[in-house]
């Protein structure tokens, strides 16, 4: 019971924080993070590709699971659009690996344990325990195609796919 209350409060804090997000057309900052397998992933390694970075508060929590499952269930549509899906949280790679296994995610989850990228893009103020639930669709040129600051976990995948039809 106490753990559920703590998770609910963390998710509420992540949802209500209003940081400065990047806007469409702005360059997305360079980054380097570790994925759930321990491999290093960088923005440079994604140069020339479109990608979706979805920041989520906490692995294996209800809202994050719903959002991740929606992205998983629509993964082939993202592949058809040439979009790589990457999740980011403050969780360590081990927690993200468990999340990937349990939900059978076909995409990588990245660990922003020092919160640097999250702070740089408005997913955290730096003092938060969890990332704010936001996403960025980044173009092959490294610029933001779309910033999502009001993510609804159950419909986020569909929203992004609809926006991809416009780009």
**Residue 112: pLDDT over 80:** yes
* Tens digits of residue pLDDT in 113-160: 999 999 999 999 888 899 999 999 999 999 999 999 989 999 999 999
Which of 7, 11, 52, 64 is an active site residue? 64
Q: How high does pLDDT run on average in the chain?
A: 90
Q: Quick one: what percent of the chain has pLDDT higher than 90? A: 83
How far is 126 from 112, CA to CA, in rounded Å?
A: 11
How far is 110 from 33, CA to CA, in rounded Å?
A: 6
pLDDT at site 19 = 58
**Residue 11: pLDDT over 70:** no
Question: Among 136, 64, 51, 154, which residue's Cα sits nearest to residue 103?
Answer: 64
**Residue 10: pLDDT over 60:** no
With contact defined as beta carbons under 8 Å apart, do 71 and 78 qualify?
Answer: yes
How far is 149 from 1, CA to CA, in rounded Å?
A: 30
Where do we find the tokens 């040439």?
82
| End-to-end CA separation in angstroms for the chain | 45
Q: Quick one: what percent of the chain has pLDDT higher than 70? A: 89
Q: What is the mean pLDDT of residues 98-119?
A: 97
pLDDT at site 2 = 52
Q: What is the mean pLDDT of residues 86-113?
A: 98
Query: Can you give the residue ranges of every domain in the chain?
Result: 2-164
CATH of span 2-164: 3.40.30.10
Give the CA distances from residue 11 to residues 51, 98, 110, in Å, rounded to whole numbers and listed in that order: 25, 19, 18
Give yes or no: 11 in active site: no
């Amino acid at each position: 019971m106490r753990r559920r209350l703590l998770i609910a409060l963390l998710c509420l804090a992540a949802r209500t924080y209003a940081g400065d997000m990047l806007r469409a057309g702005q360059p997305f900052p360079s980054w380097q993070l570790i994925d759930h397998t321990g491999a290093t992933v960088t923005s440079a390694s994604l140069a020339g590709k479109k990608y979706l970075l979805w920041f989520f508060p906490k692995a294996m929590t209800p809202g994050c699971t719903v959002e991740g499952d929606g992205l998983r269930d629509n993964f082939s549509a993202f592949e058809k659009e040439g979009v790589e899906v990457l999740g980011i949280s403050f969780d360590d790679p081990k927690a993200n690996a468990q999340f990937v296994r349990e939900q059978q995610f076909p995409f990588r989850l990245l660990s922003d344990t020092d919160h640097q990228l999250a702070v740089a893009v408005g997913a955290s103020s730096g003092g938060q325990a969890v990332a704010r639930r936001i996403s960025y669709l980044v173009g092959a040129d490294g610029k933001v195609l779309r910033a999502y600051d009001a993510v609804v976990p159950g419909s986020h995948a569909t929203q992004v796919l609809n926006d991809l039809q416009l780009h």
